[in-house]
Each structure stands twice: as structure tokens, then as C-alpha cells.
Amino acid sequence: MAITENQIIIKDVKNFDLAQTLDCGQAFRWKMCDDGSWSGIAHGKKIRILKKDNDIIIIGTDQQEFETVWKKYFDLERDYGKIIESVGCNETLKAAALFGNGIRILKQEPWEALCSFIISQNNNIPRIKGIIERLCENFGDRKDDYYTFPTYERLAACTAEDLAPIRSGFRAKYIIDAAQKVANKSIDLNQLEKVGYSQAQSQLMTIKGVGPKVADCALLYGLGYIEAFPSDVWIKRALNEFFDGKIPDCAKPFGGIVQQYIFYYIRETSKK
């Protein structure tokens, strides 16, 4: 790894395609810039990231922050090549994994993941992005030219009418219920990372508007449960069409990653 004043370079990173990872529907605050780099906000910080050959360059950070924040966020210590190899038990699965071989599962902040996927229900990705942008602009903290993701404390103090400007529809009351349950400690998100998948899922489902799918998204993208397998309309269609309704056994230990390969594969190949 090479370091200069305001950026770091990570040499020879495998299985990391920025577009595949940042625009595959797992996170909603990344934008591609005119020069092909990507700009995003996470953990209250804004960075730009780009790829040059097989090197990853992160602008707007330093080594200390990289070690404590971005290394984990971008899941850089996981060997995705090995996972892709081990799902060879099924030809369609293998094809999907190879097609999306640059996807990494981002380890997002638990509250942001939970809140974002509450917003995602019965919704489409462009509109999810818009709602989240308005949520941040209205209730996040301003930091020079951007807004952080709102805290649950801030949203716990809101009414559904207060959230009207973000135009989230019927989801507003769900956001508030989630924020209140986290704020008043009836749900401890940090604790959920340690209690095991099933326990964590059922606790999340005590929130109004959180069912198995939204819970699985929070578990996978926010709480580090790589075995969580969010099953939305796209995945259900794909499972029925290609996999007899359920994922092959060889994929189960890292179902969430495989789920993302399938999601990306069917959506990209169905584009006109």
C-alpha cells in the first residue's frame, strides 16, 4: 500500500469492480463522477474512490482512517475468488458469480442499512435513492458540501408529518418506529452483531414494517451476517426459474454474497 498526503493506494486488489459494487442496489449513496471515479458518503465521511489497473485509490482519507473504517467497509479482507470457486456446484450459479465477480458486500453502518431497506420495500431503486437523499438533506448533519445519514436519535423525535418532505409514503411511520426502538434500547444494533442470525432477525422483525426480507438486508449489509439471504421479487423469480425454488447447498454458507450475484445477474441481463 502506498500513501500520499490525502489519499491512499491499495495495490493489486482482486474481485473489486466499483460499478458492480457501488451500483448494484446494496447501498444508495454512491455516485459515479464524470472522470469515472465514485463519490460516496459513509460513516459520516465523504470520499472518492477509483481504480487504476488493479490498484484502488481512495481520495479524502488517510491510512489511519483506512484501517479503521474503509478496509472493513469495502470488505477487503475477504477472499471473494475462493467463494466464486466454491459455488461451482451449479452451472447457473457459477455463471452468475463469474458475471458479478467484482461485487463486494459493503459493511455499512447498521442503522443506515436498516433504515435504507425499510425505505426500499415495495419501491424501486431510483426512488429509494431520492428518498434517502432527501432524508439526509433534511435530517442529517451538514459537513462542508454534503450531509451525513441522520441519526436514529434525531428521527426518533420526529412525527410522520415531520418526514413529509422526504416523500417516503407509508414507510415514514416504519422509519420512526425503527428509530424509536433503537433509541430507547429495546433494540441494540451493536448487540445484534453478536447474538446469531436467527435471534438478530427476529429482534429486527419486532419493528413495524420490518419483515424477513428487510431484516435480512439489514443483517447482510449492516450487521455482517453473510449467511442472510434477502429474498425479494427478483430473487424469487430467479430461484423459481433457475434453481427449483431454493439455493444450492454449496451456496448456503455465504448465501448473501451469492444472492447479490444472482440479483445483479438477472437485472443486468434483463436490461434492454
Partner DNA sequence: TCCCAGGCTCTCT
Partner DNA sequence: AGAGAGCATGGG
Q: Give me the catalytic one of 51, 107, 181, 213.
A: 213
Cα separation, 179 vs 128, whole angstroms: 18
Sole binder of DNA in the list 17, 23, 25, 92 (CB under 7 A)? 25
| Cell 443506515 -> residue | 112
Sole binder of DNA in the list 53, 64, 91, 122 (CB under 7 A)? 122
Q: Are 234 and 263 in contact (CB under 8 A)?
A: yes
127 binds DNA, rule: CB under 7 A: yes
138 binds DNA, rule: CB under 7 A: no
Sole binder of DNA in the list 17, 123, 133, 162 (CB under 7 A)? 123
Q: Are 200 and 231 in contact (CB under 8 A)?
A: no
Least Cα distance to 112 among 155, 159, 54, 50 occurs for 155
Stretch that binds DNA, among 22-30, 64-72, 142-150, 239-247 (CB under 7 A): 22-30
Least Cα distance to 115 among 225, 198, 221, 30 occurs for 221
Largest CA distance in the chain: 53
Which residue, 150 or 209, has its beta carbon nearer to DNA?
Answer: 209
| Cell 470488505 -> residue | 75
Sole binder of DNA in the list 22, 47, 128, 226 (CB under 7 A)? 128
**Alpha helices, DSSP H, located in 78-151:** 80-86, 91-99, 110-119, 125-139
Provide, rounded to whole angstroms, the least separation between the CB of residue 25 and DNA.
3
198 binds DNA, rule: CB under 7 A: no
Cα separation, 221 vs 91, whole angstroms: 26
Which residue, 42 or 217, has its beta carbon nearer to DNA?
Answer: 217
Is residue 213 among the annotated active site residues? yes
Least Cα distance to 111 among 216, 58, 191, 182 occurs for 182
Which residue, 66 or 139, has its beta carbon nearer to DNA?
Answer: 139
Cα separation, 211 vs 209, whole angstroms: 6
Q: Are 127 and 217 in contact (CB under 8 A)?
A: no
Provide, rounded to whole angstroms, the least separation between the CB of residue 215 and DNA.
6
> 272: helix, coil or strand?
coil
Sole binder of DNA in the list 86, 92, 101, 121 (CB under 7 A)? 121
| Contacts to DNA from residues 212-231, by CB under 7 A | 212-215, 217, 230-231
Interface with DNA (CB under 7 A), residue total: 38
Q: Count CB-CB contacts under 10 A for residue 271.
A: 5
Provide, rounded to whole angstroms, the least separation between the CB of residue 237 and DNA.
8
Which residue, 180 or 260, has its beta carbon nearer to DNA?
Answer: 260
Provide, rounded to whole angstroms, the least separation between the CB of residue 161 and DNA.
11
Q: What is the set of active-site residues? A: 213
- The residues that touch DNA, with contacts defined as CB under 7 A, are 24-26, 117, 120-128, 130, 164, 167-170, 205, 208-215, 217, 230-235, 259-260, 263
